Structure formats: structure tokens, C-alpha cells
Structure 1
Amino acid sequence: MRRIRVAAVGAVTLSLALAATACGGGSSTGGGSNDSPKTLTYWASNQGASIAVDKKVLQPELDKFEKQTGIKVKLEVVPWSDLLNRILTATTSGQGPDVLNIGNTWSASLQATGALLPWDAKNFGRIGGKDRFVDSALGSTGAAGKDPAAVPLYSMAYALYYNKKIFADAGIAKPPATWAELAADGRKINAKGKSALGAEGANVSENIHHVFVFAKQHGADFFTADGKPDFTNDGVVAAVQQYVGLMAKDKAIPTSDAEYAQNQSVSDFAKGKLAMLLWQSASSNLKSQGMSEDQYGIAPVPVQSGTPGAGAQVNSMVAGINLAVFKNTHNLDGATKFVKFMTGDAEQKILNTAYSTIPPVKSAQSDTAFTTPSNAVLKDTLAKSAVALPQVADESQFETAVGTAVKELFADAAAGRAVTAGSVKAQLAKAQQQMPAK
């Protein structure tokens, strides 16, 4: 998932919605398409710096599809703060779009509703085959052992963006490779009157992405092998304490960031107020805010020690956007043609270039647009040191519950309250209690 990624619904609402028998799909009311084979409704997620930017990117491509096929696509760009709730409402009401974007971390949860079209061999055959897609992207399309609930559209990875001038002014020659180095660099930067690292402390989905990576680096998981929540194990507690500790202990993250939830840290970085930013594929966002590429560098997200890789050297979740079709769309043929169009080589190059993302389609990755030094970092991370968030049916509730716990801990840090192993464990225990009973 990406950018303004706030999961706006509570765990109870999610639990009820995901437990309901879902029907989904395009209807003639409530935002879905009508029965015409010449019309589709498409919900796109907010990928650019604004909804207006997304419309400017997408509408020419939708017009191109209409010219090729005669099928008109009605576009709605849905803010991240509304997207999951809108999708869950559609799965239970039957009044949704024909085709939609989903954050790839939601794939298994939405798959469990039964509302989305399964991408079996026959359906993949209609769009050129499953083997066109990169394995890491396919790993975030649904639960293991089941046909994917969606098709990869954009791939992203976290990277460390750093302001070259602020680093030079602080006498720092290269970006930090470990968290200890980041904390040390942060002290030098703070001494020069700048803030070291941005965060979105009130953004629950952003929080879960980071603490998931920290947990992996501590050799821990949030779920047991049989899929049961295990939020209070020692490794997870240490991981969350270390992440929030970047504000509470290391003073690298400014306390004001505890209230950030809407892209503010990206804006601060673009304006030169921050030395570093941990973000997914941020280049297009930074460009739209007036920051040129020569002003910043891009490096892998730090690890505990050594260099990024597998196991405890993981430094990113497999981020991205998937394209899904509601199972009961009245225009399955048109919806499939649209997915084929959007995942074709030509469109993959256009769209992923516009959003500074990486194509999940193998043949599109070789284009020169995706061989720049900045994209090399992202591609290398996706290939070697990124893993998918847990593909479990309760993943959406997990994001909301744990992300909110981290939000509360950031609030404690901003208020000067101690963030201890005990206080972290108490918040995580509260989060685990909010998970659906098995």
C-alpha cells in the first residue's frame, strides 16, 4: 500500500464486515456500473500527491482503453482514508465498482469475504498468464494455497531518502546502513538545528509497515505458524520499542510527527525541514512538491547490522497496489479486458513511470525508465530483502489494532512519557484482544 494509508475503520467494524457473506460487484446504483457491456466503474487508489494528479495521470489512459475497446471507464479516485471502508461496504452491499485497486496487504482479508474474482489459471490466461508477474508481487495477492484474489499493478518498496545538503552540513559522508548509525547521524543533524527523520506517527498503516520490518529484524513474527496472533512475544515487543524509541529515546524523530497521518513528513522532507525519510517510492511525490532529484539520495532502509538481505536482514515489506474484480460484475468480459490493458507492457511502463513505482510485470521492468539508480535500490530491495505482510484472513484487523497501538505509544513519547518494554507489551496485549476470536 501507499502514501496516505490510514485504515479508517475499527477492528470491530472490520470483523463484522469480513465475517459477513459478501456479494460485491457492479450494480446500477451505489457507484457500480450498469448492465451495459460498454461501461465499467473503476475505483483507483490515491497514488499521486493529490486526487487531481491521479485523474490527470489516469484519464488519458482510460480514454485510450475506450478508443481500443469501445468500453467507457467511469473513474473515481478514492482517498486512502476511505478506501478500505468503502471496499468493505461494497462487499456486503453488492453496490461497488467492477474493478478496483486494493492495497496488497489487504488481499487475504478481502479474499476471505468471497467478493473478489479468483484469478485461477483460466482467468490469468485471459491476461497473458500468471508467469508474466514477479514472484514477490504474486506473494501479496492472497492466502497461500488459494487462487489469487487480485493481480499486481504497481510494486513498491521502502527506501531511505536523505537530503544531501543537510548531510554535508552535518559532516556526514554517507547514509546510515544500521539503526545505530542513523541514531548517531541524527544527533549530528539535531545539533545543526534540523530534524533527523520523519514519521507518520498517527498513520496506523504506516506504523504497521515499519514495526513489521523491525520485528523481522528481531527474528520475530506477529503470528504463529498456524496463523494465531502473537503480538506480545519478546521479539515483537523489542521491535516496537525500538521503532518508537527513534522518537522516545534517540530523539531522531521530532515529537510533532506523533500527530502526522496525511503525508506531512513527505512535505517536511521536500521543504528541507527533515534530513531523512522512510517512504515507499517517493520520487514522484517529492517532484510534485518542488524537490529535484539532485537534492536527495536514496539508500536501502537500515538493518540492525550488516547489509540487507533475507531473514533478520529484511528491510521492507513488499508494498504495492493490486487490481481486483468484483465477482458478480455485470461486465466480466470488459473487466478482464481492462485488467489485461492495465497490466500490459505499454501501460505498465506509463503508469509506473508516472508514480515512480516498479512494474510487477517482468517484461516491463527492463525499460530504461526503471534502470535509474533510485529504481535500482527499490528493485534490489524487492528482489532480495522485502517480504509480504502476513497473508492471513484477519490481516486488516491486525493492521488497525497494532497500528493504533503504535500510534498511542508515539503519543506517549511526544508527551514525554516513558516508552518501556512494559508499556509496549501492554499496548500490544490490548491490540491482540481486539482480534477476532478463533
Structure 2
Amino acid sequence: MRRFRAAAAVLTTTALAVAATGCGGGSDTGGGSNDSPKTLTYWASNQGPSIEADKKILTAELKKFEKQTGIKVKLEVVPWSDLLNRILAATTSGQGPDVLNIGNTWSASLQATGALLPWDAKNFDKIGGKDRFVESALGSAGAEGQDPSAVPLYSLAYALYYNKAMFADAGITEPPATWDELVADGKKISKDGKWALGAEGSNLSNNIHQAFALGKQHGADFFDASGKPTFTSDGAVAAVKQYVDFMAKDKIISPGNAEYAQNQSLRDFAQGKTAMVLWQAAASTFAAQGMKPDDWGVAPVPVPSGTPGTGQNLNSMVAGINIAVFKNTKNLDGATDFVKFMTSDAEQKLLNKTYGSIPPVKAAQSDAAFSAPDTSVLRDTLAKSAAPLPQVANESQFETTVGTAIKELFADAAAGRPVTTDSVKNALTKAQQQMPK
């Protein structure tokens, strides 16, 4: 998922049970695909520094599509805080768009509703074939063993962004490669109103993404092979405690970050209040807030060994955005043509370059822009040391329940209440009990 403003979105068990018959496309032509409708509706996710910026970027591209096909696309850029709930409402009301962006972590959950068009071999052939796409991106497009419920559009991974001037002032010559180094560096920085590490303690999705990567490093997956939650395993407890302890024990995250949920940590970083932040493709946001490219550096997220790679040295979830089609769209041909356009080599290069993300289309990655220092870190992480979040039907409830547990633990830390192994395990036990049976 991108930028994590979906903290308030809750994917309920009831909504997940909605049948596909409850959903319909938003084309207003009144005819089926054989009638060659001339309009499509598209819900885009907010990828840039603002909704208005996305409208400007995408409108220019949609005009290209209209010129090529004669199909006008009605665009709405939906904030992350609203997107998931809007999608769920569309599955029940039948008043949804024809095409939409979804956070890739939602793919299996939304697939379980039956509302999205399955991308089988026939549908992939319409857009140039499945083998055009990077395998790790396809791994976050739906449940294992089923046809994907969406197509990868923008790929992202976590990186460690650091303020060069603040590092230099603290006598630090290079970014930390291990968590021990990060904490040691952080203690040198965290004084005189400055803090080492930014966090979004009230951002449920971001909490999950951090805990998942740390969980991998502790040998935890949060679900077993059958899809049953294992939130209280020793590794899961250790991962969550390590993350919250950056505030509770190590004192390198400001207590005020416990309330952050809307990218405030990026603002603090851009203003020189915080020296480091763990984020996805943050370059465009830093630029929009006045930072120059030379002001900051980027490095892989730390791992215990200092060398990211396979196994327990995975350091990021496979993040990104997928593009999907409502199964009951009245303009299926136009919708798949639009997906083909958005995933074409040319559009993939242009859009991912604009947003600072990585193309999930293999051929588009050859562009020199994706070999720049910041994007090369993201690209290498995706290729070597990232894993998809569990592609299970209850993934979104996982984000809600465990994300909330971490939020509450951050609140404890901010208030000076002790965060212990037992308190973390109790919070995760409560989260697991709230999961659908």
C-alpha cells in the first residue's frame, strides 16, 4: 500500500461476505461492453503530495487514452483514509467505478468478496501477458493458487531516509545498517528538541508494515500455512515490542509521534525535527515540503546482520498499488483497455518516475530514472529482501486489530506506562481474539 492514509479504514467481516452480484460498474452509458460505451469511471489512489497534484498528473494521461480509444475517463482521486470504505460501499450499492486502484495488501481480502474481475490467462493476454510483470508484485495481487484479483501498477518498498546535516552534526558518517547501530546513532541525535526516528503510531497500516518486516527478522509470519492467525508467537511479540521500544525504552522517537497518522513524520523530517524515517518513495513529498535532493540520503532498512537478503534478513513488505476492474462493469472491454494503457511500458515509465515508485512491469525498469540512488534502493529491496504481506482473506482485519494493538502500545509508551513482553503479548492476544473465526 502507498502512503498509509488508510488508518481509519475498517474491512468488516460483513462486507467481506458480500457476493459479487452486489457490485456493478459506474459507467453511465447503460449498455454492455458490446455497445462500445464511451465513458469509464476511475478511482485513483492519492500517490503524489496532494489530491490536486494527482489530478493534474493523471488528467494529462487520461487525455492520451481518450485520444487513442475515444473513451473518456471520469477521474476521482480518493484519499487513502476513504478508499477502502468507498470500495466496500461500492460492492454493496452497485454504484462503484469501472476501474479502481487498491492497496496491494487488500488484494486477497477484496478478492474474497467476489466483486473484482479475476485476471486469468485470457484477461492477462488482453494486456500483453502475465510474464510482463515482476513476480514479487504479482505475489501481492491475490490469494495463492487463485487468479490475481488485480494487476500491479506501482511497486514500492521501505527504505531508511536520513537527514545528512543532522547526521553530520552528531558526528555520524554513514547510515545505520543494523538496529543496534540505529539505536546507538539515535541516542546521539535525540536531544535539544531533536529526535532520531519518526513514526506514525496511530497509523494502523504503517504499524502493520513495520511489525511485519520486523516479524520476518524474528522468524514470525503472523499467520500459519492454513491462514490461522499466530499473533502471539514469540517472534511476533518480540517484533512488536522492538518497534514500540524505539519510543518506550530507547527514547529515540518523540512521544508525540504516538498520535501521528497523516504523514506528520514526513513533515517533521522535512523540517529538520527528525533525523530518520522509515518510508516508501518519499522523495516527491520531501521536495514538495522544500527539501533539496542533497539534503537527505537513503539506505536499506536495517537488519540484525547488517546485510539485507533472503530469509530472516528480509527488511520490507512488498508494497505498492494494484489496478482492478469491478467484475460487473458495463464496459469490460474499455476497462481492460484502460488497464492495458496504464500498464503499458510508456505509462509505467512516466507514472512511476513521477511518483518515485518502481514499475512492476519488467521492461519499464530499464529507464535510467530507476537506477538513481533512492529508487535503486527500493528496486534492490523489492528484488532481494522483501516479502508480500499474508495473502489471506482476513488480511485487512489483521491490519485493523494488530495495527490498533500497536497504536495502543504506543499510547502507553507516550504516557510513560511500561511496555513489557507481557503487555505486548496481552495486546496481541486481544487482537487475535477479535479476528473472524
Q: What residue is the counterpart of 1:159 in the other structure?
A: 159
Q: What residue is the counterpart of 2:25 in the other structure?
A: 26
What is the number of equivalent residue pairs in this alignment?
A: 432
Task: State how far apart, in whole Å, the 2-side matches of 1:134 and 1:375 are.
Answer: 16
Letter in 1 for 2:14: L
Say if 2:51 is the partner of 1:51.
yes
- How far residue 7 of structure 1 moved from its aligned partner, in angstroms, is 3.6
* 8 Å Cα contact 2:127/2:337 also seen in 1: yes
Deviations, residues 139-169 of structure 1 (Å, cap 9, x unaligned):
0000011000000000000000000000000
Structure 1 residues 34, 190: closer, same or farther in 2, change over 3 A? farther
Letter in 2 for 1:392: V
Greater mean alpha carbon deviation, residues 425-434 or residues 380-389: 425-434
Task: State how far apart, in whole Å, the 2-side matches of 1:237 and 1:213 are.
Answer: 13
Aligned pairs for 1:249-398 within 5 A: 249-398=249-398
* 8 Å Cα contact 2:20/2:327 also seen in 1: no
Task: State how far apart, in whole Å, the 1-side matches of 2:96 and 2:403 are.
Answer: 27
Q: What residue is the counterpart of 2:228 in the other structure?
A: 228
Instruction: Give the percent of matched residue pairs that are identical in Structure 1 and Structure 2.
Output: 73
Q: What residue is the counterpart of 1:240 in the other structure?
A: 240
Letter in 1 for 2:15: A
* 8 Å Cα contact 1:159/1:298 also seen in 2: yes
Letter in 1 for 2:25: G
Q: What residue is the counterpart of 1:76 in the other structure?
A: 76
Task: State how far apart, in whole Å, the 2-side matches of 1:76 and 1:34 are.
Answer: 20
* 8 Å Cα contact 1:170/1:192 also seen in 2: no
Alpha-carbon RMSD across the aligned residues, in angstroms, is 1.2
* 8 Å Cα contact 2:216/2:312 also seen in 1: yes
- How far residue 375 of structure 1 moved from its aligned partner, in angstroms, is 1.2
Letter in 2 for 1:351: L
* 8 Å Cα contact 2:193/2:273 also seen in 1: no
Q: What residue is the counterpart of 2:213 in the other structure?
A: 213
* 8 Å Cα contact 1:164/1:297 also seen in 2: yes
* 8 Å Cα contact 2:29/2:38 also seen in 1: no
- How far residue 25 of structure 1 moved from its aligned partner, in angstroms, is 2.8
Letter in 1 for 2:170: A
Which 5+ residue runs of structure 1 have no aligned equivalent?
A: none
Greater mean alpha carbon deviation, residues 378-387 or residues 188-197: 188-197
TM-score calculated relative to the size of structure 2: 0.97
Say if 2:15 is the partner of 1:17.
yes
Task: State how far apart, in whole Å, the 2-side matches of 1:113 and 1:120 are.
Answer: 17
- How far residue 302 of structure 1 moved from its aligned partner, in angstroms, is 0.4
Helix, strand or coil at the partner of 2:366:
coil
Q: What residue is the counterpart of 1:127 in the other structure?
A: 127
Q: What residue is the counterpart of 1:409 in the other structure?
A: 409
Say if 2:92 is the partner of 1:92.
yes
TM-score calculated relative to the size of structure 1: 0.97
Structure 1 residues 431, 123: closer, same or farther in 2, change over 3 A? same
* 8 Å Cα contact 2:162/2:297 also seen in 1: yes
* 8 Å Cα contact 2:7/2:261 also seen in 1: no
* 8 Å Cα contact 2:7/2:202 also seen in 1: no
Deviations, residues 282-321 of structure 1 (Å, cap 9, x unaligned):
1111111111110000000001223111111010000000
Task: State how far apart, in whole Å, the 1-side matches of 2:372 and 2:67 are.
Answer: 32
Deviations, residues 82-124 of structure 1 (Å, cap 9, x unaligned):
1111111111222100000000000000001000000000000
Structure 1 residues 33, 431: closer, same or farther in 2, change over 3 A? farther
